[in-house]
Structure 1
Amino acid sequence: MLGATAVQAAEAPEVAQACLACHGDALAEGAPPIAGHSSNYIQLQLVFFRAGRRKNEIMQGVAEGLSDNDIRALGKYFASLPFPETKPPADTQADLTKAGETAALQHRCAACHGDTYLGIQAAPRVARLPEAYLAKALGDYRANTRPSSGGAAMTEVAGSLSDADIKALAHYLAVLP
């Protein structure tokens, strides 16, 4: 299961129906699953999109029409759902995985994202997210074009990542069991 089930979609507040088109069972290309993230994290991302601080043409268009109450309702709804049980893709690049594990340890990713990278209240889950999404996010943090709910932490950490580090980290996190 990749996102909200049909039953959960039927129980979703009306404002969440549009979200499910990309972030539900069938993830749209580049769209991460949002079910199971903390309400605060979801709300902050929507506020960042609405304010234009986080850039994505589709998400900015969606978020600009959301009221504060809509954002609170979406955060509460998606946080109430379990994170989708995803099977990681087969790991056919052991050297890249090892390099990613080394980079994750070196940059202390677990300090904020938890020992298993499943997230904590203040920092989101990063394990088993789509590899391309993770690479883009890390690149955006490095370029200081993506705001972080953790203040400057992600920008500071990602600022020292090389292209090879980003590729390795994204791969490692995407294939975690």
Structure 2
Amino acid sequence: MSVTSPAERDELNHLLVRTGQQDEKAFSTLYRKTSGQLFGVCLRMISDRGQAEEILQEAYVTVWRRAASFDAARASALTWLVTVVRNKAIDRLRQHREMTGGDALDFDAIVDESPTPAAGAEASQEYQRLQECMGELEPRQRTSVREAFFTGATYNELAARAKVPLGTMKSWIRRSLLQLRACLNA
């Protein structure tokens, strides 16, 4: 489901609130309406289909357990769900990096540009707006934000890669996030 209207957004918000009240039917409907899009997010971050399926399952277990903490005044249901999935994927990427002793992941290697189930998500107005706003960031800051949020890189790792002081990297990320918020709320 690509959320394009306020009615669809309100429906997902309502389903997530009811899930927080342990309503199994609402949870089932929420899963049916969002799992394809969230699976696309998983595949974008981790190209291994089996691992993406595991992450999605773990994410929905977390959704069931933590849905009561959802606050529609702070974010839409879809944003909240994508955050849960993204965090699970980042945890998996970090775990893999620690187990293999590998270096930081290359964002471009993670993001496969071929059509995937995420194509529907990318077509959504929210995604397009985010891409426009990301395009307004300076290239180095845009890369740093992407790596921080899609690979789970720490400030220290980002600063080392960009060959800038840690304080500079923190400032870049903070200013970039403030700029994104202003752009998305415009």
TM-score (norm 1): 0.27
More helix, by proportion: 2
Larger Rg over CA atoms = 2
Normalising by structure 2, we get a TM-score of 0.26
